[in-house]
């Protein structure tokens, strides 16, 4: 009985759906988190009678008999819409408005990318992430720095004791990708490029196609709790209906086995 295996694929698909939704809900307060959605595809069909096949002479079958084998997960994609900006009053925090990722140097020398602008200063005066990874290009505050400011275009300036004129430290840059959904998530709010994302295009904030920076703010998660709960209820109902199909098929098989 095909319905047993078909309903089984439906239950597995909804289980994946619930996994994705639960991860969204768990990260509803994660800085710059981007929600995900699961997409599904129908499986191959058994062609009992092909549409358009001849039944004799010029007569053709209009629709045929095609029996589906169920459903599978086609992909889980990331929705990269802008999250709300939350003020922190921390001068080292930065939020990206628009497209772009901060570049971070990992311990092995590779580059990762993040939208989490929760930055701090290391014991050497470097601008680093919460895990201590340096931000590219490197920004190092001098001894005696009294103030730290970042313009919307990424220009970093400090005021040093004994000098009333701001001192320029460098220019922050952002990376953009042709396909942001193709980035591979590594945890810790970090991503790495893949063949699916394409190579990064690096530019200054405010350049065409690149967002701007807002100092003293961070980007909140773009998860909408109401829509996620609605999607969770829908997935739960779909799972229950597929389990009901399994139960019904089992009862039908039990009836068959009792025939004398």
Residues 49 and 138 in one domain: no
Q: pLDDT at position 260, please?
A: 67
Residues 100 and 166 in one domain: yes
Residues 66 and 177 in one domain: no
| Nearest-angstrom CA–CA distance, 152 and 209 | 14
* Element of type H or E holding 7: helix 2-26
Other Cβ atoms closer than 10 A to 66? 13
Residues 92 and 45 in one domain: no
Q: pLDDT at position 72, please?
A: 92
Residues 93 and 202 in one domain: yes
Provide the number of structural domains found in the chain.
Answer: 2
For every one of its 260 residues, what pLDDT tens digit does the chain have, with 9 covering 90 and above?
788 889 999 999 999 999 999 999 999 999 999 999 999 999 888 887 777 777 777 777 777 788 888 999 999 999 999 999 999 989 999 999 999 999 999 999 999 999 999 999 988 889 999 999 999 888 888 887 788 889 999 999 988 877 778 888 889 999 999 999 899 999 999 999 999 999 999 999 999 999 999 999 999 999 999 999 999 999 999 999 999 998 988 888 888 888 76
Q: In the chain, count of helices (H) and strands (E)?
A: 2, 22
Residues 134 and 179 in one domain: yes
Residues 102 and 206 in one domain: yes
Residues 132 and 28 in one domain: no
Residues 128 and 93 in one domain: yes
Cβ-based neighbours of 237, under 8 Å, separated by 6 or more: none
Residues 209 and 123 in one domain: yes
| Nearest-angstrom CA–CA distance, 112 and 192 | 5
Residues 214 and 227 in one domain: no
What is the per-residue DSSP string for 222-259? ---HHHHHHHHHHHHHHHHHHHHHHHHHHHHHHHHHT-
Range of the domain at 190: 85-219
Residues 92 and 13 in one domain: no
Tell me, rounded to whole angstroms, the distance of Cα 226 from its chain centroid.
18
């Amino acid at each position: 009985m095909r319905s047993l295996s078909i309903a089984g694929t439906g239950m597995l698909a909804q289980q994946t759906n619930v996994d994705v939704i639960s991860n969204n809900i768990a990260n509803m307060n994660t800085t710059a988190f981007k929600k995900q959605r699961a997409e599904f595809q129908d499986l191959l069909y058994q062609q009992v009678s092909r549409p358009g096949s001849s039944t004799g002479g010029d007569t053709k079958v209009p629709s045929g008999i095609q029996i589906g084998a169920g459903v599978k997960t086609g992909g889980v994609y990331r929705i990269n819409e802008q999250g709300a900006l939350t003020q922190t009053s921390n001068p080292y925090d930065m939020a990206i408005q628009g497209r772009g990722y901060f570049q971070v140097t990992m311990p092995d020398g590779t580059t990762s990318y993040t939208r989490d602008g929760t930055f701090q200063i290391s014991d050497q005066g470097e601008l680093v992430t919460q895990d201590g990874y340096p931000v590219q290009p490197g920004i190092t505050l001098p001894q005696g720095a009294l103030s730290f400011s970042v313009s919307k275009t990424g220009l970093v300036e400090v005021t040093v004791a004994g000098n009333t004129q701001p001192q320029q430290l460098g220019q922050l840059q952002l990376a953009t990708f042709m396909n942001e959904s193709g980035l591979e998530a590594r945890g810790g709010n970090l991503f790495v490029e893949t063949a699916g994302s394409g190579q990064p295009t690096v530019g200054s904030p405010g350049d065409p196609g690149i967002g701007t920076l807002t100092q003293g703010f961070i980007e909140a998660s773009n998860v909408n709790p109401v829509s996620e709960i609605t999607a969770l209820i829908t997935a739960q109902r779909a799972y229950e209906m597929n389990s009901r199909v399994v139960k019904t098929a089992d009862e039908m098989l039990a009836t068959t086995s009792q025939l004398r």
